Amino acid sequence: MTDQLRIALAQLNPKVGDLSGNLALARKALDEARQAGADILMFSELFLTGYFPDDLLFKPQFIADAVAAAQELARDTDRTDVVVILPTIWQDSNGLHNAVVVAENGEITAVRLKRELPNNDVFYEKRYFSAGPMAEPVTIKGVSIGIPICEDIWHQSVCEHLAMRGAEILLCPNGSPYWRNKQHVRKNLVRARTAEDDIPMLYLNQVGGQDELVYDGASFGMEPGDRLVFQGKSFETDFIVSDWQRGDNGWTCSKGEITELTSVDEAPWRACVLGLRDYVHKNGFSHVVLGLSGGIDSAVVAAMAVDAFGADKVHCIMLPYRYTSEASIKDARECAELLGVRYDVIPIGEPVDRALTELAPVFGDRPADLAEENIQSRMRGVVLMAVSNKLGSMLLTTGNKSEMAVGYATIYGDMNGGYNPLKDMLKVEVYRLAAWRNAHVPGDSLGPSGVVIPQNIIDKAPSAELRPDQKDQDSLPPYPVLDALITALVEEERSVADIVADGFDSDLVLRIQKLINIAEYKRRQAPPGPKITAKAFGLGRKYPITNGYRDTVVG
């Protein structure tokens, strides 16, 4: 029995499937916890396998290797007084489980299984795991510790059961991805649980990018009475140590550091940069290439890339055709100079014109239309992919969510690439973040301070420049209107009738709904990008490509 505890939370960046790499991270954290004099060290949800392993969990050898890795780390506790709470997968006669193992003195002393398995949004754990029973607390250093796992705390009964069975402190490992306002949602949830059960909770979240998900860390501790007692870093790894004291009214934190959360203005930028950096690095690339058109989207992606990798790892290419304006050429060069990146100009006039000449017998006397425009975009995609292949750079795509929603992008053209940092960002948000970045240097940034996106790029009307004097609004409603409709139809899943009742023109709403539906096949073939809203295309929104349903205006 002890009246004092020092608890360490390892807010780290594991890689899915990298059992040896994640085990090395865990061993390093164990050494750090021992040096800090910690009694308990906890890792984030499914730390050893990475969160989330998806169909790796159907591979028996992966399961066996993961269990063996957990046993290896357990043996490492024989040379320390630290008790390790290690979230990983575990198998028993009831199936495979999302679990935590508790290890001390060189062996696994307890296993606890996740009770509530999420089966919505981006995680479908019921596809892989069997639910555990209502868990009992674990006695560590003579203290009764409850270990609800992530989704468990979203269900009042789990924490209530632990408290009724004598838990004095709740330690909660999580794999909670970022989207707007998520940090405040978590705080409100933990606030409710600590008030209901009258015991403190330490909430640990992982950090890092994993395909389309970004984990923002921001781990924290809270006592009953809405007392925030420590706060970890946002979008960065952290090793958080807090001291706890048992008194007449239970356990309270006697020492904890509060780091200010990333602001709601900065967080989307940080999420995109972290997702980009980890996707590139975790897939074995060290540098990137992109087409710099002189427009807002490619300028923002270039700035994000420089923030993620540094200017020497970013290669920008202008690919002008006869419709590319002198202003765009000037703006692209200025942007490249402000960012300090390598900048090349590769004209596409000759190959495009030659393609049109060769196609003339097939096209006949049909008037010019999207087919000719798309040849320009696809030629740019061919050139950029050639540079990517030859130089070993990952090609970044630069289309935003507004364009992807309505199919205002050329498949096998400007949609070419390995990753798209703007995939879940509406056009109005792209403009807002461009202005924000010109006035701020984000935390963990490798990019320069000051203006990095020329003001003319922000001010001018957006255009694909695939025909003379083309503007996006020739084909689309103004972006504030379009984005409001996309938000209503996609992110909020509202009916057409409800949206029309808000004052939108019914024909426009029906048209945008149609464009969203028929562009699904393009989105299925688009590169991944970071999820920063509650409803992102791809991982967060699974609509059929072949789909006969259309909402209509009632009355």
Residues annotated within the binding site are: 176, 182, 291-298, 374, 398, 403, 522
**Active site annotation includes 150:** yes
Query: Among 15, 125, 150, 212, which one carries the catalytic annotation?
Result: 150
Annotated binding residues for ATP, written as ranges, equal: 291-298, 398
Do residues 46 and 53 touch, judged by C-beta distance below 8 A?
yes
For the CA atoms of 297, 299, 302, 304, the dihedral, rounded to the nearest 10 degrees, stands at -70
**Active site annotation includes 187:** no
Distance of CA 46 to the CA centre of its chain: 17
Q: ∠ at Cα 123 (545, 498), nearest 5°?
A: 55
* Strand-pair partners of 419: 396
Do residues 243 and 253 touch, judged by C-beta distance below 8 A?
yes
**Active site annotation includes 172:** no
Strands in 346-398 per DSSP E:
394-395
Which of 328, 336, 337 shows the shortest CA–CA distance to 462?
328
Annotated binding residues for L-glutamine, written as ranges, equal: 176, 182
What are the two backbone dihedrals, phi and then psi, of residue 504, each rounded to the nearest 5 degrees?
-80, 145
Could you tell me which residues come within 8 angstroms of residue 543 by beta carbon, excluding any fewer than 6 positions away?
Answer: 517, 520
Would you say how long the chain is, in residues? 555
Cα 270 from Cα 282, distance rounded (Å): 18
Query: Among 45, 125, 212, 373, which one carries the catalytic annotation?
Result: 45
Query: Among 15, 104, 114, 125, which one carries the catalytic annotation?
Result: 114
Could you tell me which residues come within 8 angstroms of residue 416 by beta carbon, excluding any fewer than 6 positions away?
Answer: 381, 384, 385, 395, 397
Annotated binding residues for deamido-NAD(+), written as ranges, equal: 374, 403, 522
Cα 392 from Cα 390, distance rounded (Å): 6
Cα 101 from Cα 86, distance rounded (Å): 5
Which of 21, 111, 36, 129 shows the shortest CA–CA distance to 74?
111
Do residues 285 and 255 touch, judged by C-beta distance below 8 A?
no
Do residues 242 and 229 touch, judged by C-beta distance below 8 A?
yes
Residue numbers annotated as active site = 45, 114, 150
